[in-house]
Structure 1
Amino acid sequence: MDMQKQPQQPSRAQPQPQPQSQAQHPEGCLVVAIRIPVRILVFLVVLPVRLLWDACAAVARFLWRYALAPVGRAIGWVLHGLLVVPLIWLYRYLLTPLGHALVWLYARVLTPIGHAVVWLLTPAAKAVAWVFDMLGTALYWTARVLLVLPALALWRWILAPVARVLGIVVREVGEALGHAWRAAGYVARAVGRVLGTLFRWIFLEPARWVYRTVLTPVGHVVRDLVLHPVAEAARAIGRAVRQARADLRRALFGEPRRPAPVDRREPGSRDTRTLDG
């Protein structure tokens, strides 16, 4: 037997394609039996979760914008100064020169030594390679008979059908979650609109009606019948007080002296001078 001739590896059995009837497993009754109860149950479970999620999302956006984002940027700056800059310095001034030294050692020292060892041990290496090849073939067939073939049978006849059924269940649950999440969003928006409408009709519209039909006419009546007369009375009282104060001053100190007329040395209208006079 030639020591250098490698034993021919037996070709592995290619998995036979499954027939079309097995690849597309009928799902009609199973899908109908699973889909409707799962979607109803998931909708009832997801609706309060979606409402809570919307509220938490609004709070989280507020916290993120005004609390977490500034803190995160500050932490990022601190980490960049404490970790990134020292690591860049370590890579640039320590690891890169060390890597170049190792490459030079491998290329200039270890590679020639390896070539010399291979040149001295070539026959023994071939024998060892043949032994390892035979051992590998024996281990391959042992593992194929004891492990691979039972595993393929287990997968084909047990795990694959179970996996298909579980895939249908998981797919239906995922679709039910998606539908329930979207429906819960519609319900949440509808609830928000209903609450807004109720708030408007219970509080805003009555308050607007009271302001428009009660308070505004009452305010006009109060203005016309109370405020204006009170203001007029106050102004009349003020005028009377000023007049009384003026009369009291005249009674105590007499009439105030009027300023004497000042002669401006201007001729009267009858003796008006002309250019001829």
Structure 2
Amino acid sequence: MEPEMRPARREPEGCLVAAVRLPVRIVVLVVVVPVRMLWDLLALCARTLHRTVLRPLGRCLLVIPFTWLWRAVLTPLGRGAGRLVQYLVVAPAVWGWRYLVVAPARWLWRYLVVAPARWLWRSVLVPVGRGLARLADALLTYLVVAPARWLWRGVLAPAGAGIAWLVRHLVVAPALWGWRWVLVPVGRGTAWLLRTLVAVPLVTLWRWVLVPLGRGLAFLGREVAAAFAVAWRVAGYVSRAAGRAVKWALWQTVGRPARWFYRSVCTPLGHFARDAVWRPARDAVRAALSTARRTLRRALL
């Protein structure tokens, strides 16, 4: 049996809680103690049966016979069967694969495939390929390169030179003349007009009108913001002063009389009720419960 656990000390509680807790604990104690004793007895019997009967019986009936069977019978039989398989199956299969399959297949591959293919490559394919390469070189030289060279020298080069002369004298020269004597003067005149009629008036308007006006508006905005800030602080002071005045008035009219009534009337009445009524009743109930608890404990022991 486990040692008795002592409950931690608690603060005294109400009489209703103690009156409900005591019968519940008595009932639980009456029900749980026999069940716990029966459970401990069964656990002790099960441990004793396992140690004295089941473990030795299982060792004698299962572990020792199976160990002897594995060591004396199954292991030698397995080793013998492995050796028989190695000498009767694996070794003959390896010898047959090496000398009956690999060697003939290697000889047949060397003399029936590799040698004829080598002779065909050296004696037939290489000469034929060289002849075809020479023929293709000759055909390419006389049918493609020579006509292309003649076409470039006799037709395309003179035609290109003529087209370049026409473009230089009919397109490039007029374009340069128009750029120098038409587009450049027109561009300079347009730039002078834009600078005189647009840029100078805009710069003058920005420097002498918009910038002073913006500075004036910014100064006015800063002053308005500062005025709002000062007014906000002053309003805070006024609000706090008004709040303090209302708080003082409420304390003088409500708080102080309420505090005097609590200290002078309610506190003495509460102390009198605690000392003359509540404490004697609580002590009497606690003494009765303590006497009943001791009587019940003596009866149970």
Give the TM-score of the pair, scaled to structure 2: 0.33
Give the TM-score of the pair, scaled to structure 1: 0.35
